Structure 1
Amino acid sequence: MPLPFLEAAMVLTWSSGFIGMRFSADYAPVYLVTLWRFIALSIGLFPFVAREMRHAPKSVLIRQSCIGALAMAGYLAGVAGGVQLGVPAGLAALIADLLPVGVVLITTCLFRQRSPAVVWAGLGLGLAGTLIVCRDALSLGSAPAWAYGLPVAGMLSLAAGTVWQQRSSHCGTLTPLGMLWLQSLVSCPIFLALQASQGRIAPMLSAGFAASVAWSVIFATLGGCGLYWACLRRTSSARVTSVLFLSPPVTLIWAWAMFREPLSWLMALGTVISGAGILLVVNRSSGDGG
């Protein structure tokens, strides 16, 4: 499938994750839904990846487990934890969408990999467009001051996992489905401990809870995360993460369709500006051979 089609599907499903958090908050604690999301994935995907796991080198399994702890558990624990403590969902989503900036900062500061000026210009436009789109959704909220650092830590955790994955791809890796299974398995004990510290760990016997888990499994994980790793196998991390600048406007369209939240021309303007920034990064990535 052409890469732009994969990227479009990635943005669509990735954006659904924030809607899933909002939807599930009406039925259960965010960490409880996330825990059972990973339990369901660990059980459901095992028959499809068992053979791959048996034949994968131990070094690959260990490395992918560490990447999963950063990119899946660390990211979701930070973003969801911030929302659960009172950080407004719009602000948490905006911080999460700074992922491309986090990736470039890590590669620049840790690996001395300089990014061309056109990439920085593209990231700047993408960020400006995102700020415009999210303007009406932003507020400071009433969370304790330290809670605002959780989404930042989550975003940087995913950025670190992304950089590690791309820089180690020449050492052997798993298929996107195998990566999802292993990342889900590694995330189970982490969210078990987080939820156990707050309350019950047993699933809630309600249609709303089941729908929340199903939504996060199918759309956010198999769709969003699976396509994220699939795209990262085919092109640069700067390009893949910059495409996610389109996540806020798509999230707002999801919110309009599901919760009848209003749309505005200002959101359309921000989307156009973000799109221009993405084109700069995409064209640069294409010029470098992806």
Structure 2
Amino acid sequence: MLFILLWSSGYVAGKLALPHAGPFSLLALRFGVAALVLLAVAVLTRAPWPRTARAWVHLAVVGLLMQVLHFSGVYSAIQWGLPTGIAALLIGMMPLATALGAHLWLAERLTPLQGWGLLGGAAGVALVIAGRPMGGADWQAYGAGLIGLAGLVTGTLYQKRFCAGMDLRSGSGIQMAVSALAVLGLALWREPALPDWSLELVGATLWLALVNSIGAFSLMFVMIRRGQAGAVARLFYLIPGVSALMGYAVLGERLSGQALLGFAVSAGAVALVAMRDRQTTAR
């Protein structure tokens, strides 16, 4: 539940920050602050560092996929007019893609109940999408959101396959540092205007860096290490509903009855599969 709350809050914080900075500039600030904090913690606590060049490369690839590609797509989509709730819904399709990829790439077994749970979660997401206005966003916004989804899915599978044993302090610090340098180059190329250094931008950036980039992703990596990638991905069905509730409370976004039904269907599907997984583990 803590992971879901922390991750969902990032959509609202990003929406608040984007009027004051371009998406790449915001990401450079977010990743840069997170990298400084994580690398300082790694040095002060004498965390172990990767011992081979291949391990460093794997960490860099995860950062480029899960951080740069994912958030560049999401933030660009929001900037181009995609509502926050719809952006969360696109990322909410992650479980279907991740479960299929984990089955094909990581040989994780997909039981019939898990399959029905995935379909139930997808049905809930479809209800929410059908019950919400598209907000006038064009195909570029939706395309950027789908690119962000692809980055998150491939990064999750790559993390599980090649970086499951990384130290969270040094490994995450390396990922954030590589991501910060990558988006800084994009910001200098595409966004020559300086950010508007308002209190809202500073507060949102600190929240995104410390709470989302460090807190939420650390929890995600721990869950991936301890369980199946597909089981972790199913939690993303709950994020659109929580994000929509936060958007209603903070941004004044409205919720329709059909959207609430879709959130309930997704939450019920995740709860059913998670409960059965715990029973199987206990036996």
**Whole-Å separation in 2 of the counterparts to 1:49 and 1:39:** 15
- SS where residue 31 of structure 2 aligns? helix
Q: Aligned match of 1:159 in 148, 153, 164?
A: 153
**Whole-Å separation in 2 of the counterparts to 1:223 and 1:122:** 27
Aligned counterpart, 2:80: 85
- Superposition map of 1:3-152 within 5 A: 8-50=1-43, 55-58=49-52, 59-110=54-105, 115-139=110-134, 141-143=136-138, 145-152=139-146
From the superposition, tell whether residues 108 and 55 of structure 1 become closer, same or farther in structure 2 (CA, over 3 Å).
closer
From the superposition, tell whether residues 169 and 41 of structure 1 become closer, same or farther in structure 2 (CA, over 3 Å).
closer
Aligned counterpart, 2:187: 195
Whether contact under 8 Å (1:24, 1:30) holds in the other structure is no
Q: Which moved more, 1:244-253 or 1:45-54?
A: 45-54
Q: Which moved more, 1:145-154 or 1:187-196?
A: 145-154
Q: Percent of aligned pairs with the same residue?
A: 24
Aligned counterpart, 2:238: 246
TM-superposition CA deviations, 1:57-81 (whole Å, max 9, x none): 1233321221121111111112222
**Structural RMSD (CA):** 2.5
From the superposition, tell whether residues 262 and 78 of structure 1 become closer, same or farther in structure 2 (CA, over 3 Å).
closer
TM-score if structure 1 supplies the norm length?
Answer: 0.85
Post-superposition offset of 1:24: 1.0
**Whole-Å separation in 2 of the counterparts to 1:134 and 1:147:** 15
Aligned counterpart, 1:179: 171
Query: Structure 1: any 5+ residue segments left out of the alignment?
Result: 1-7
- SS where residue 26 of structure 1 aligns? helix
Whether contact under 8 Å (1:10, 1:227) holds in the other structure is yes
**Whole-Å separation in 1 of the counterparts to 2:55 and 2:193:** 31
Whether contact under 8 Å (2:88, 2:243) holds in the other structure is no
Amino acid at match of 1:28: A
Q: Which moved more, 1:270-279 or 1:51-60?
A: 51-60
- SS where residue 226 of structure 2 aligns? coil
**Whole-Å separation in 1 of the counterparts to 2:200 and 2:66:** 27
From the superposition, tell whether residues 30 and 183 of structure 1 become closer, same or farther in structure 2 (CA, over 3 Å).
same
Post-superposition offset of 1:209: 1.9
Q: Aligned match of 1:224 in 202, 205, 216?
A: 216
**Whole-Å separation in 2 of the counterparts to 1:215 and 1:14:** 11
TM-superposition CA deviations, 1:204-259 (whole Å, max 9, x none): 43212212211211332123222211221221111111111111111112112212
Query: Structure 2: any 5+ residue segments left out of the alignment?
Result: none
**Whole-Å separation in 1 of the counterparts to 2:205 and 2:142:** 26
**Whole-Å separation in 2 of the counterparts to 1:227 and 1:111:** 21
Amino acid at match of 2:156: T
**Whole-Å separation in 2 of the counterparts to 1:151 and 1:52:** 38
Q: Which moved more, 1:219-228 or 1:238-247?
A: 219-228
